[in-house]
Chains A and B, each alone.
Chain A
Amino acid sequence: MIALSEISIPAVCPALGPPALTDGAIAVLNLGAQIDGLEGHGTSAEAATLIDLLILRGLTLGRISDYERAAQLADRLVHDAAADAAAYMARARTRAVFHRFSEALDDLDHADRISPQDTPAKQERAAILQALGRYDEAMATYEDVADRGGQFEQAGALAGLWADRGETDTAQRLYLEGLRTYRGVSPFPLALLDFQLGTMWMRHDRLDQARTCFDAAIRRVPAYAAAQGHLAEVEADLGEPEAAIARLYPLAASSDDPDYAAQLARILGEMGRNNEASGWCLLAANRYDELTAAHPEAFADHAAEFWLGVGNDTPKGLRFAEFNLRVRKTPRAYDLLARALDAKTAEATAARCFGGQ
């Protein structure tokens, strides 16, 4: 998925700042109330809003069904409002969520022909270029609309871009600027920003900083599933597997995203609780199979990680890693393929060793 986790961020996560934010539980209640209120009727603008809200809920609560519903609505919206640039914009977002990047860019081209120079469309295009690893083009596109977007949105987007490029100092500075310029009361934008920062530190093995940031995201939105899941991963890596397991159980049991069950299986396996681990592993495996059949581009990378790890099927992991690289040629995609190839080589070596005995 094109979760903001993939648009990483910077260093130290500052204490929660002075702006008053709506309590995270209220924010989630009201997000649901917005979605419920907009379902089933409304203008095309409201349909586009509904699609954005479903994506936001999918992102924060880890609900793939929300992404799928958003994609359905976007297809219908384009069908019903073919002359409306906003319809193509909405569909581009859902396609990007499912990593159908070239189709998403086609939609943005279409929107651009109907309504040229639209700032949100350009921001969307920049995010997709970034997800594709085309960082220079993404940067140029962000800069093209720098004067027309909000300060917070610009700082947050650029923080993610620089983080993806490994420029952590710049990303950190922009992250802080994002916090400083935020003028809203919704906790979601800041929680997403915290999460990006935490994800970046996690990738750099700066686990304490990552924990601080995920904690911050969870304080803002306690139900933020991806932040809970990543924090559990950090806790496990910091030698606190029981805390990680306690955090993952409810997510693995309730979410339709198999990542949580996969993480839980891995940690339980590392603790030698193999019987428990195998159940969660099976659950994750079945769900990855369903999701990679339905949305191969979106789940290739996570499925590859799973099969190369606790899923224990290196050839399958390699196939998904190769497919993922065809979808987008990012440094992370190359790293994943390299790991898959190493695993394959290791397996072959082991097989030869056993064969030689």
Chain B
Amino acid sequence: MSDHFSGPRALSEPAADITDVYAFPAPDSPDHLVLVLDVFGKSGPSAVFSDAVIYRFRIRPVEIAAMGPDAAFAPSQNEFTFDCTFDVPSGRTDSGRPLQQGRCLTPNKRTISFRTDDENGGADGSVQVFAGQRSDPFFLDVRMIEKTAATRKLAFKPKGSDTLYGTNILAIVLKFEWRKVLEGGPLFAVVCETLAAGKRPVRIERVGRPEIKNVTLSWKQFDQINRDLEIRDLYNSEDAFDLKPDYFDVYRARMNANLAFHDGLDGKIDWPFDQHGDHPLTKLLLADFLVVDASKPFAEATYFEIERSMLERRTHVTPGGRWLNQDFMDFLYTLYVNGGNGPPINDGVDAPIAWSSKAFPYLAPPNPAKASAA
């Protein structure tokens, strides 16, 4: 749930509030790519998808445009989308949850129908779709993250408290043979969006990389230029593949400030700013899409490996992307604070309440109500 509560406007429709996006080669089938979109963090048992929202997966082939300090991606203009929509609930599932019919419009304009919470989902040739409530695969200690920002000192305890322990999300899982469904590759950039349905769908939120809007952009106090500005709704409204120049410097300044704050948490500078006055990660992170190499075999802790290899002028060896249960906060704080030049930083939370499966639909079944209170 790395992107939960990531902008005031998203709060008004919880079923449009994206919590996380994942992209990984299928552990159970090397020819398939899996994309996961989670919404509605901490959802109770009655949670359902909105019938007024389009849940969109956007995928573009991407090239590595530059290596070294100027590392950058060059996404293609060629785009493939999966759009999922849902009906008003009718009846109940076997578990007593509201039952919804859903549809997924694939890039080749075929429509796959499915019922929510059905673990087999819907399928059409090379595409399989699941949608329903599952256990949130993310884990972190939010209180200590907030304390770290408030005290300007790493506040993690050896044994932390998982803020998401026992909580559920609504997930949409796509599994497809990428060579049949997409063109180009094997490197793909993935962004997920929620849009208000209608003749001219309006973007409500977008997510590519984890913890960009929350940990990396939300803190205002370190930003000397726009200290009072809540930029996340603005950021959400932008096209991830085509950031408008109008506000780019606003995002850049906020990200530079917050990355510099994190870099200083261990009392030394591991990420000196470049000649343009930017943190070395700013440009890569503002390319806010998950990059996954669909040709590489599945692996678990692979987020940002492609980007790291680009910065270090070497060829990546993993699929990159993002697996469901990577210990992301440990990775993120280690990356931001010491760039891997120091000891790994542990946030004290090392596992979710339930590990994800290596078989479709991958995410663990939903936790029983009140498991979190225990």
> How many Å from the CB of B195 to the closest CB on chain A?
9
Contact pattern, A 31-44, Cβ under 8 Å of B = 1, otherwise 0: 01111111111110
Which residues on B sit within 8 Å (CB–CB) of A32?
Answer: 44, 46
CB–CB B48/A29 < 8 A: yes
Partner of A30, one of B48, B88, B372: B48
Given A19-B196, A33-B43, A185-B196, A26–B89 Cβ distance below 8 Å? yes
7 closest Cβ pairs, A-B complex: A36-B44, A33-B47, A37-B42, A33-B44, A40-B373, A20-B52, A20-B197
Q: For the complex, give the distance between the alpha carbons of A242 and B154 in Å.
A: 66
Given A20-B198, A40-B373, A43-B143, A26–B50 Cβ distance below 8 Å? yes
Which residues on B sit within 8 Å (CB–CB) of A37?
Answer: 41-44, 47, 167-168
Which residues on A sit within 8 Å (CB–CB) of B146?
Answer: 43
B189 within 8 A of A: no
A167 within 8 A of B: no
CB–CB A30/B47 < 8 A: yes
Residues of B at the A interface (CB closer than 8 Å) are: 5, 9, 11-16, 40-48, 50-53, 88-89, 98, 142-143, 146, 163, 167-168, 196-199, 202, 204, 369-370, 372-373
Given A40-B372, A42-B163, A21–B5 Cβ distance below 8 Å? no
Q: For the complex, give the distance between the alpha carbons of A188 and B50 in Å.
A: 14
Q: Which A residue's beta carbon lies closest to that of B44?
A: A36
Report the interface size class on chain A.
20 to 34
Q: For the complex, give the distance between the alpha carbons of A49 and B41 in Å.
A: 13
> How many Å from the CB of B17 to the closest CB on chain A?
10
Query: Considering the complex, which residues of chain A in the window 258-302 have a beta carbon less than 8 Å from any beta carbon of chain B?
Result: none
A23 within 8 A of B: yes
Partner of A183, one of B9, B15, B43, B88: B9
CB–CB B52/A22 < 8 A: yes
> How many Å from the CB of A23 to the closest CB on chain B?
5
A45 within 8 A of B: yes
Given A21-B52, A30-B14, A40-B370, A35–B9 Cβ distance below 8 Å? no
Which residues on B sit within 8 Å (CB–CB) of A29?
Answer: 46-48, 89, 98
Which residues on B sit within 8 Å (CB–CB) of A186?
Answer: 12-13
> How many Å from the CB of A50 to the closest CB on chain B?
10
Which residues on A sit within 8 Å (CB–CB) of B199?
Answer: 18
A338 within 8 A of B: no
Which residues on A sit within 8 Å (CB–CB) of B48?
Answer: 26, 29-30, 33
CB–CB A36/B46 < 8 A: yes
Residues of A at the B interface (CB closer than 8 Å) are: 18-23, 25-26, 29-30, 32-43, 45-46, 49, 150, 183-186, 188-189
7 interchain pairs (CB within 8 A)? A19-B196, A34-B42, A36-B45, A39-B373, A183-B202, A184-B13, A188-B12
Partner of A33, one of B40, B53, B163, B373: B40
Given A25-B89, A29-B47, A30-B15, A185–B42 Cβ distance below 8 Å? no
> How many Å from the CB of A57 to the closest CB on chain B?
12
Q: For the complex, give the distance between the alpha carbons of A186 and B45 in Å.
A: 19
Q: Which B residue's beta carbon lies closest to that of A25?
A: B88
> How many Å from the CB of A145 to the closest CB on chain B?
12
Q: For the complex, give the distance between the alpha carbons of A33 and B11 in Å.
A: 13
CB–CB B11/A189 < 8 A: no
Is chain B's interface secondary structure helix, strand, loop, or mixed overall?
loop
Q: For the complex, give the distance between the alpha carbons of A303 and B321 in Å.
A: 61
Partner of B196, one of A20, A45, A188, A189: A20
Q: Which B residue's beta carbon lies closest to that of A18?
A: B198
> How many Å from the CB of B151 to the closest CB on chain A?
13
Q: When A and B form their complex, what is the total count of cross-chain residue pairs whose Cβ atoms lie within 8 Å?
A: 107
Q: For the complex, give the distance between the alpha carbons of A30 and B42 in Å.
A: 11
Which residues on B sit within 8 Å (CB–CB) of A19?
Answer: 196, 198
Which residues on B sit within 8 Å (CB–CB) of A35?
Answer: 44
Q: For the complex, give the distance between the alpha carbons of A36 and B143 in Å.
A: 21
Q: For the complex, give the distance between the alpha carbons of A21 and B197 in Å.
A: 8
Q: For the complex, give the distance between the alpha carbons of A69 and B165 in Å.
A: 24
Given A32-B44, A40-B370, A185-B204, A26–B88 Cβ distance below 8 Å? yes
> How many Å from the CB of A311 to the closest CB on chain B?
37
CB–CB A23/B51 < 8 A: yes
CB–CB B52/A23 < 8 A: yes
What 9 additional pairs, Cβ within 8 angstroms, besides A32-B46, A42-B163?
Answer: A22-B52, A26-B50, A26-B89, A29-B48, A29-B98, A33-B47, A36-B46, A39-B373, A43-B142
> How many Å from the CB of A63 to the closest CB on chain B?
16
CB–CB A30/B40 < 8 A: yes
Q: For the complex, give the distance between the alpha carbons of A80 and B5 in Å.
A: 22
Q: For the complex, give the distance between the alpha carbons of A37 and B168 in Å.
A: 8
CB–CB B46/A49 < 8 A: no
> How many Å from the CB of B329 to the closest CB on chain A?
15
> How many Å from the CB of B4 to the closest CB on chain A?
10
Q: For the complex, give the distance between the alpha carbons of A39 and B370 in Å.
A: 9
Which residues on A sit within 8 Å (CB–CB) of B204?
Answer: 185
CB–CB B12/A189 < 8 A: yes
Which residues on A sit within 8 Å (CB–CB) of B45?
Answer: 33, 36
> How many Å from the CB of A22 to the closest CB on chain B?
4
CB–CB A184/B89 < 8 A: no
Partner of B15, one of A21, A26, A36, A40: A26
Given A20-B196, A23-B88, A185-B204, A33–B46 Cβ distance below 8 Å? yes
Which residues on A sit within 8 Å (CB–CB) of B372?
Answer: 40-41
Q: For the complex, give the distance between the alpha carbons of A46 and B50 in Å.
A: 22
CB–CB A34/B197 < 8 A: no
- Most central of A22, A32, A35, A186 by chain B CB within 10 Å: A22
CB–CB A34/B198 < 8 A: no
Which residues on A sit within 8 Å (CB–CB) of B196?
Answer: 19-20, 183-185
> How many Å from the CB of B355 to the closest CB on chain A?
21
Q: Which B residue's beta carbon lies closest to that of A26?
A: B48
CB–CB B51/A22 < 8 A: yes
Which residues on A sit within 8 Å (CB–CB) of B168?
Answer: 37
Which residues on A sit within 8 Å (CB–CB) of B11?
Answer: 49
Q: For the complex, give the distance between the alpha carbons of A224 and B123 in Å.
A: 39
Q: For the complex, give the distance between the alpha carbons of A45 and B142 in Å.
A: 11
- Most central of A26, A30, A43, A186 by chain B CB within 10 Å: A26
> How many Å from the CB of A17 to the closest CB on chain B?
10
Which residues on A sit within 8 Å (CB–CB) of B15?
Answer: 22, 26, 30
Q: For the complex, give the distance between the alpha carbons of A26 and B85 in Å.
A: 14
Q: For the complex, give the distance between the alpha carbons of A29 and B52 in Å.
A: 15
